[in-house]
Structure 1
């Protein structure tokens, strides 16, 4: 009976600790320029599809807001947005959400040169559901930087990043120099 209890405690501890270990592996993959590990830890096609849907919805929603404020000009702008934005967003996401692009991101390269962990970017990390784990990321050097939430899901017997929840586009664009 005692052995069964110990096994249960070990199993629960392993289950609870595994997503944090996955976050550590992500950090190490970024710092060691390990593309293969990054591809195993991140479901890039799923993340790209999720981001495309989110960004397109935000862009089209913003166009709708402008249309309501300025009916004539807004209608023209909304039509152009609906025509061109989805392809532009898809191309941008396809180019930026790849293992190569992430590993060559200036912030990642800078941290790699200094062998400085990304742990200070994490502001929150915990289970959202039994098979979903989220962690919030924020630039620690810029107090007004927006928070980006990464979503991991239990995929078989491993945790993988399957989505990224961006803040509203206005929050992101207002921080661009």
Structure 2
């Protein structure tokens, strides 16, 4: 009996450890298949939007303060009106439907890049032709395939970090709730925040 209890406890622990990884796959699968209703169950958009407003608003205010010496009127106007504009934009565009469209557009861009054939160069050396069929192609977009961190930050919290140090790291924070794992905050790359605040 005790052995069965131990085995059951170990199995439950392993399932719990694996559960956030399955949740991440489930979110991506829902996005790629266009299941917006499933995304609404897996993402707490209210807290996600609140976090984005906080980050972008702070970056804009910081940029306004920094540029105040050059144009105080414009800086003051930006500090007052900027957060309002940001709030409305986030409320309008940050939702499951637009996430689905964003993922689909990204998949289309990836597919198009794969279809683009590199030029072929023929070099004639002593009547022999050497063909260089493909050149390495450098991808200048944010490398969303690069996962730098994916593990628990506490027993009920999980962090997924995507990107690289050069182009910035996007942090997706998840928490365990009665309904399972859900995304509750998205941490934007520091580089993006600095660029946003300098506009």
Q: Does the TM-score normalized on the shorter chain lie above 0.5?
A: yes
Between 1:51-60 and 1:119-128, the stretch displaced more is 119-128
Query: Do 1:122 and 1:138's aligned partners in 2 also have CA atoms closer than 8 Å?
Result: yes
What's the CA shift for 1:58? 1.4
Q: Which residue is equivalent to 1:167?
A: 189
Unaligned runs of 5+ in 1: none
Q: Which residue of 1 aligns with 2:93?
A: 96
1:60 is aligned to 2:56 = no
Where does 1:39-54 land on structure 2 (aligned, <5 Å)?
A: 39-54=40-55
| Residue number in structure 1 paired with 2:75 | 78
Aligned-residue offset at 1:4: 1.3
In the alignment, what sits opposite 2:116? none
Task: Give the TM-score of the pair, scaled to structure 2.
Answer: 0.73
2:173–2:185 contact (8 Å) kept in structure 1: yes
1:145 aligns with 2:167: yes
1:156 aligns with 2:178: yes
Moved over 4 A (4+): 171-174
- Considering fraction of residues, name the structure with more strand: 2
CA contact (8 A) 2:59 2:196 kept: no
1:132 aligns with 2:157: yes
SS at match of 2:166: coil
Distance in 2 (CA, whole Å) between partners of 1:38 and 1:99 is 6
Aligned residues: 163
Match of 1:109 among 105, 108, 123: 105
Q: Distance in 2 between matches of 1:138 and 1:160?
A: 21
Q: Does 1:37 align with 2:38?
A: yes
1:82: how far off? 2.0
Cα distance in 2 for partners of 1:85, 1:173 equals 11
When the two chains are superposed, the root-mean-square deviation of aligned CA atoms in Å is: 2.5
Return the offset for 1:48.
Answer: 0.5
Higher helix share: 1
What is the rounded CA distance, in whole Å, between the counterparts of 2:38 and 2:182 in structure 1? 11
